[in-house]
Amino acid sequence: MSENLRITNNKFIDQTTRISFKFDGKTLYGFKGDTLASALLANNIHLVGRSFKYHRPRGIMACGTEEPNAIVQVGKDSSMTEPNTRATEIELYEGLEASSQNCWPSVNFDIGAVNNFFSPLIPAAFYYKTFMWPANFWKLYEYFIRKSAGLGKSPTEPDKDIYDNRYLHCDVLVVGGGVSGIMAAKIAAKNNLNTLLIDDKNTLGGTTLFQQNECFKINNSYSNEWIKNEIKTLYSLKNLTIKTRTSLAAYHNYNYLLARENLTDHLDLKERKNKIRQRLWKIRAKKVIIATGAMERPLVFNNNDRPGIILSSSIKKYIDYYGVKCGQKISLFTNNDSAYETAISLNNSGVVVNSVVDIRDKTNSLIVEQAEKLGIKIHWKSTVVNTNGYKKINSIEIMKLSDDGTSVVEKKIKEECDCLGISGGWTPRVHLFTQSGGKLKYREEDNVFLPEKSELDQISIGSCNGDFELNEVIKNSVYSTNKFLNVNNKDYENLEVTSSKEIDKKNIWLLPSDKPFKKTKSFLDFQNDSTANDVKLALREGFKSIEHVKRYTTTGMATDQGKLSNMHALGIVAETAGVKMGELGTTTFRPPYTPLTFGAIVGRNVGEFFDITRNTPIHEWHVEKKAEFENVGQWKRAWYYPINNENMHEAVQRESKAARDSAGILDASTLGKIDIQGTDASEFLNRVYTNAWSKLEIGKCRYGLMLNEDGMVYDDGVTTRLSENHYLMTTTTGGAANVLSKLEDYLQTEWPELDVYLTSVTDHYGTVSICGPNSKKILSKIIPDLDLSDKEFPHMSFKNAFINDIKCRVMRISFTGEHSYEINIQSSYAKSVWEKCFAAGKEFNITPYGTETMHLLRAEKGFIIAGQDTDGTMTPIDLQMDWIISKKKYDFIGKRSLYRSDTVREDRKQLVGLLTDDPNEILEEGAQIVSETNKQPIEMLGHVTSSYFSPNLNKSIALAVVKNGKKLKGQKMFVPMKNKTINVTITDTVFLDKENKRLNA
Amino acid sequence: MFLINCPYCGERDQSEFTAGGEAHIVRPKQPTELSDDQWAEFLFMRKNIKGVQFERWNHAHGCRKWFNIVRDTSNDKIHAIYKMGDKPPIK
Amino acid sequence: MLNFNTPIIDTKEYSEIKISKAEPILKINLRGKNRDFITKIGKELSIITPVDPNTSSSNEKLNLLWLSPDEWLLYSNDIVDLKDANFLEDKLFNEISKVKLGSVTNVSDHWIMINLKGAKIFELLSAGCPFNFNNFKNSKGAVTQTLLNHIDVIIHNKNINDLNLFVRRSFSAHLWSWMNDSAKFI
């Protein structure tokens, strides 16, 4: 470490705790409390990256979120590495490894730097213009452009860190813990408002925390001492929550805000284990107080981007807060008073201040006079016309400005320096205000955009609201806060504030040089490498809207969103185009304010918690039996049960055969179940299903088809009449929630006169379905006292029963075409009943089957699956299910649509069966169907919706939708695949047991 | 994310609600007597206004009740909330 | 005998958070619109039917939660014998549904009840729930239906830092796992 760059009497850095870290592979040392940037500067390292386009050497330029240049890659581990982090925001920790980005092979020798010599050839939109032709070459261009331009490397492995989300509701949110934010938070909390104060730094206090200057005093103490006491009181207030290292990322409508809290990034690596790295706070605030302060602007002049050119206020923070000298011989260049604060701070710490170059005429504010008293040299009405030094600034060239400020006059003075502080005035941080939809107004006198109008319950106070003098900040913040919160706090009533007042203001967006304009390089956007030249070129080429200029030149489009560059770009556009800044408006600031990690956004919703899973009450049994699972909506359903290394096909063939030959058992618990009660229940069913329900006998079941108002099939299922005014409706697994919500919608909005109540009982019942020729024998073993004769308990009927004193409902219904029963029992006993059935069925080789076999078995019978064979464009007539539409009913949902001109078309796609000429050929679901093979182009007539190899028929079967399919029965068709064409014949949809004999077998 | 004042449960986060399209479109009582065009008017035609719009919302993850909202689509400001069957409090 | 099975069997304790399931208890969903219905429930259960939104009423054995202007959830404090449960369900069904006052539906196994106790349970909820608990926390008997980690839940404030949370059975294993995960980081 270069000892001479550290001052030793610093209060904020723990100079007793040395921390080692690596930058670009080299081991360096800093102290506890340093940022990576301050530690690098203390090691006299300014050059930290190369610019995006020209690969010019770039150095640390700021000390906070607005840093455009010191963008580094942190960490080496391929799962933990993080690109595009700002060195000015990384708190130093033991073991930190960081490296420069955007340079190859190294920051000191960068091959891309050759671009700098060609830079006249790389104007704005160079890439757009050059790599347009020929279009198919883009792939090639892109590879090289990305390689040379890349901004950091993405991690290649899953992130090992832990992230979290948390909701928070408060009365008042104060964003920013500087002098205004601290006062606002205290006023709010002391008036019994539940208050949250957040700040992105590791400590409250803002820049006042290290402001020890005669010109800024409160109640006769230095402002830093005053604020330290204020902070102490804050921590004792009980209604106040304070979160530091917490950065507000987004401000949405209805005072919904997102803030990212950094919990472990500042800790030593070994202390971070099993801790949440970052937490995203989802905040709902009744009222929001924005106190985000202002950021210093750079100045735009020739070669204003060399390493060692730093914002003047940052130089002040580095010396006053971190105790780091940015140089030994520092020059300052300014258009306002704040550079004099830096000059005085540097002077007090023993750093040589060469001079202050000020574009204004001589001015006599308190702070300027103090600087003059200390003997600091000032070049009035002057500008820096050039800087020298390739990897680090070594001198500046100064000239006098003409009276109108557009050119330079008199003799050029060369001044040697190792650092140049620049100050172009202050830009209020209005980003959050505009994110929330607030409108800005322009203040001519100091060229700032300020909050004007917001629809939300919020205010901006302090310098983000345009108050730059300490006495005004205090007076106005206190007044506005009291008024906004409708309280009358008197804590700050009689403060005595000393504050230097800036008397003269002057601004030149683009400072003149002695060189012709075209030969200068005056950077606006340091990160995206766009210059004043680029913006002027865009205007010459006809771009007028600031939004277009921004996109064409990419000014303000880098990861810093142009925090430092936007104002100058606007200024130069306005000046060149001859319009007023206020009329030009600004570009839009979008969230996040600083980049967010994906980890923080998703929180714990990774891995096991990526998506919600639902289990049936019999789930454990399927797991024990090593079933493969299928996701159906959020449900985990048993897909098939492989034995002895069977693959899916083998398992499904075995299961399907067993179910028809003897007995199969299926977990049908996922079906949606709705309990319907009320005197109008039958009428209600009449209106929601296509068929008639009034005459359904008590104890009987009926299949129903539900349509949308557009006549398209929506859902289907069996509904059972339990008693006069009591039904149990079943829906498809995936449709359950939507069906219930749709039915509630009709009851509440269209038919409020109906006396009907719907209650979901999906999870209350577990459903065990046993099917096959031996299902009756098995059921009789379980419920011996139930008469299972076809007369007493026919197909499509139900019985109440008891299994060992537990009530259950047994439905004799079938989705496989086999004789089968569904036992519905309270979920707590479903697994036990399943096991009982399984044991009872053992002698019949009862075989558990999953959803795949279920699908195969129903396809053999031509039963549809809503959502697989239908896709929201199929009417019941298209499905050849005309029989289910009641002719007598006056109305039901979707009825009128069934005879719209479009739905009565004969050539609609209709459901048909398909048989392949080669019975062993299995069609692919989704495959297209055509009528000819040698014509091109050929019309696609339809597609395969379901396809299986049927072990019971010993051939491949399929369902498909085909244009005019009903009339095409017996016709040959073709299914063209990648390597071959499959010949098929259109058939009936029922492949097995057309007479339904098996139902009563 | 809006905050929606459910007329039954009070102010809740938008994630508890689902939107149900334009409000005050009454299902015809005698659909069979309508021409294709008239039925299509009910079935398909919806306004899509930049400005004040009347909408149906459902407190799907709360009381499951449907209600109406008057919302300005240009700034998402909710001007009024009223129960199903009630007359809109503003025009 | 049929065996009773529940997806959640244990009790977990973390710093100032204890989560445990409480089963089997009786749960009945009640729906109805008119005055008679409300009076009848009150009479049958010896409990005042809560008609104010987001409230509940309780007696020694039972709790009745307001869910919507025409819907309530009844649940028992203690484990209920199956016979007693059937008896109560049948009685209510006969006195309400049968006489066309409303609906009575047994939902004992539709919901799983999880009890949360401790000073930090609201922090646990805030990890996945957009609901504002600031007032709810201090109002004994308050009820809310909301989302927890995207899953529908009913939350009943039994006592200070003592909540009963209802989640649909099929979601319960997932939510339980999520709650345990989140509790680790409180």
pLDDT tens for A860-874 read: 999 999 999 999 999
Residue A855's identity, in one-letter code, is H
* For A438, nearest residue in chain B (alpha carbons): B75
Find the CB nearest B1 among A252, A455, A900: A252
Residue A611 placed within a domain:
no
Q: Does residue B91 or residue A169 have the better pLDDT?
A: A169
pLDDT at residue A606 tops 80: yes
Is there a domain that residue B91 lies in?
no
CB contact (8 A) between residue A890 and residue B64 = no
pTM: 0.93
Instruction: Give the closest of A168, A678, A757 to C126, CB-based.
Output: A168
Minimal CA separation from A900 to chain B, in Å: 6
CATH code of the domain covering residue A38: 3.10.20.440
At residue A109, the pLDDT reads: 63
Q: How many CB pairs under 8 A join A and C?
A: 138
What does residue C86 show for φ and ψ, rounded to 5 degrees? -60, -40
Across the range A965-992, mean pLDDT stands at 96
Residue A208 has a pLDDT of 95
Residue A688, phi then psi, degrees to nearest 5: -95, -20
Contact A612 C149 (CB under 8 A): yes
Whether A140 shows a pLDDT value over 70: the answer reads no
Examine the pLDDT at A129 and tell me if it is beyond 90.
no
Q: DSSP string covering A851-906, please?
A: HHHHHHHHHHTT---TTTT--SS--TTTTT-GGGS-SS-S--TTTGGGGSTTTT-T
Is B19 in CB contact (< 8 Å) with chain A?
no
Is the previous residue joined to A123 through a cis bond, with omega within 30 degrees of 0?
no
Asked if the C-beta of B66 comes within 8 angstroms of chain A's C-beta atoms, the answer is yes
Cβ <8 Å between A832 and C102: no
List the single residue in C67, C69, C130 with the smallest CB-CB distance to B13. Answer: C130
Q: Decide if A677 and C104 are in contact by the 8 Å CB cutoff.
A: yes
CATH number of C14-184: 3.30.1360.120
Which parts of chain B fold into alpha helices (H)?
Answer: 36-44
Q: Which residue has the higher pLDDT, A533 or A129?
A: A533
Asked if omega into A591 is within 30° of 0 (cis), the reply is no
Are the Cβ atoms of C68 and B15 closer than 8 angstroms? no
- Whether A94 is covered by a domain: the verdict is yes
The predicted-structure confidence for A237-268, as pLDDT tens digits, reads as follows: 999 999 999 999 999 999 999 999 999 999 99
Reply yes or no on whether the pLDDT at A59 is more than 60.
yes
Q: What is the mean pLDDT of residues A610-619?
A: 97
Contact A464, A292 (CB under 8 A): yes
Surface-to-core class of residue C86, CB atoms within 10 Å of its CB (0-12 exposed, 13-18 middle, 19+ buried): middle
- 8 Å CB contact of C5 and A169: no
CB A67 within 8 A of CB A85: no
Contact A293, A464 (CB under 8 A): yes
User: Which A residues in the span 697-726 are in contact with C, Cβ-Cβ below 8 Å?
Assistant: 725-726
Q: Is the peptide bond before A57 cis (omega within 30 degrees of 0)?
A: no
CB nearest C105 (choices: A169, A194, A675): A675
Q: Is residue A485 part of a domain?
A: yes
The per-type count for chain C, helices as H runs and strands as E runs, is 4, 11
Coil, strand or helix at A523: strand
pLDDT of A764-797, one tens digit each?
A: 999 999 999 999 999 999 999 999 999 999 999 9
Residues A684 and A814 in one domain: yes
How far away is chain A from the Cα of C156, in angstroms, using its nearest Cα? 19
| Residue A306 backbone phi and psi in degrees, to 5 | -75, 150
User: Which residues in chain C are contacts of B83 at CB distance < 8 A?
Assistant: none
Q: How far apart are CA A781 and CA A773, in angstroms?
A: 15
Q: Is the pLDDT of residue C162 over 70?
A: yes
How many structural domains are present in chain B? 1
Q: How many structural domains comprise chain A?
A: 6
Contact assignment for C68 to B64 by CB distance below 8 Å: yes
Task: Tell me what percent of the residues of chain A surpass a pLDDT of 90.
Answer: 81
Say what the pLDDT of residue A50 is.
81
Subunit contact A169:C132, Cβ cutoff 8 A = yes
B33 CB-contact burial (10 Å; exposed 0-12 / middle 13-18 / buried 19+)? exposed
B8 touches chain C (CB under 8 A): yes
Q: What is the pLDDT of residues A903-957, one digit of tens each?
A: 999 999 999 999 999 999 999 999 999 999 888 888 999 999 999 999 999 999 9
Residue A623 forms part of a structural domain: no
Cβ separation B63–C71 shorter than 8 A: yes
Residue boundaries of the structural domains of chain C: 14-184
Residues of chain B short of pLDDT 50, as ranges, are none
Q: What is the DSSP string of A21-80?
A: EEETTEEEEEEET-BHHHHHHHTT--EEEE-TTT--EEE---SSTT-SS-EEEE-SSTTT
Compute, in degrees rounded to 10, the torsion defined by CA atoms A346, A348, A349, A355.
30
Domain hosting residue A946, numbered range:
861-882+899-1000
- Give the residue among B1, B4, B29, B18 at the shortest CA–CA distance from B79: B4
Residue A436 and residue A288 share a domain? yes
For residue A1, the model assigns a pLDDT of: 42
Query: Can you tell me the ipTM of this complex?
Result: 0.97
A458: domain CATH number is 3.50.50.60
Establish if A154 belongs to a structural domain.
Answer: no
B89 domain-assigned: no
Alpha-carbon torsion (B18, B20, B24, B26), positive or negative: negative
pLDDT at A306: 95
Q: pLDDT at position A76, please?
A: 79
The answer to whether the Cβ–Cβ distance between C82 and A830 falls below 8 Å is no
Decide: helix, strand or coil at residue A206: helix
The alpha carbon dihedral of A779, A782, A783, A785 has a sign of positive
Residues of A in contact with B43 (CB under 8 A): 709-710, 897
Q: What is the 8-class DSSP label of residue A355?
A: E
Nearest CA to A174 out of A158, A187, A162, A165 is that of A187
Distance from CA of A832 to the nearest CA of C (A): 5
The answer, yes or no, to whether residue A49 has pLDDT greater than 90, is no
* A253 part of contact set with chain B, CB < 8 Å: yes
Q: What is the DSSP letter of A253?
A: T
CA distance A341 to A347: 10
Instruction: Please name the member of A604, A679, A757 whose beta carbon is closest to the beta carbon of C31.
Output: A757
Q: What's the pLDDT tens digit per position in A224-236?
A: 999 999 999 999 9
Q: Do A604 and C2 touch (CB under 8 A)?
A: no
The whole-number pLDDT of residue B91 equals 73
CATH of the domain at A970: 2.40.30.110
pLDDT tens string A341-358: 999 999 999 999 999 999
Q: Which residues of A touch B4 (CB under 8 A)?
A: none
A329-334 and A57-59 as β-strands: parallel, antiparallel, unpaired? unpaired
- The residue in chain B having the minimum alpha-carbon distance to the alpha carbon of residue A285 is B3
pLDDT in tens, C44-94: 999 999 999 999 999 999 999 999 999 999 999 988 888 888 899 999 999
Range of the domain at B23: 3-83
Write a three-state SS string for B22-41.
ECCCCCCCCHHHCCHHHHHH
What confidence tier does A824 reach under pLDDT thresholds 50, 70, 90? very high
Q: Of A595, A627, A654, which residue is a domain's last?
A: A595
Residue B90 covered by a domain? no
Give B3→chain A minimum CA distance, Å.
6
Instruction: List the strands of the sheet with A97-100, edge to edge.
Output: A26-32, A14-23, A97-100, A71-74, A82-86
- Determine the Cα–Cα distance for residues C39 and A870; give it in Å rounded to an integer: 47
Interacting residues of A97 by C-beta distance below 8 A, sequence separation 6+: A21, A22, A23, A74, A75, A76
Residue A147 has what pLDDT?
53
Beta-carbon pairs below 8 A across chains B and C: 38
Structural contact between residues A171 and A194, judged by C-beta atoms closer than 8 angstroms:
yes
Choice among A280-289, A591-600, A617-626 with the minimum mean pLDDT:
A591-600
Q: Is B72 on the interface with C (CB under 8 A)?
A: no
The pLDDT score that the predictor gives to residue A130 is: 56
Q: CATH code at A707?
A: 3.30.70.1400
As given in the structure block, the two tokens for residue A33 are 């409390």
Cβ contact, residue pair A604, C181, below 8 Å: yes
Instruction: Give me the pLDDT at residue A100, please.
Output: 86
- Segment C86-108 shows an average pLDDT of 94
Q: What is the CATH number of the domain that holds B57?
A: 3.30.2270.10
- Dihedral of CA atoms B31, B34, B38, B44 in degrees, nearest 10, equals 30
Residue A314, min C-alpha distance to chain B (Å): 37
Residue A499, pLDDT above cutoff 50: yes
Helix (H, G, I), strand (E, B) or coil at A188: helix
Q: What percent of chain A has pLDDT over 70?
A: 95
User: What's the rounded Cα separation, in Å, for the pair C97 and C89?
Assistant: 11
Number of residues in chain C: 186
pLDDT at A552: 87
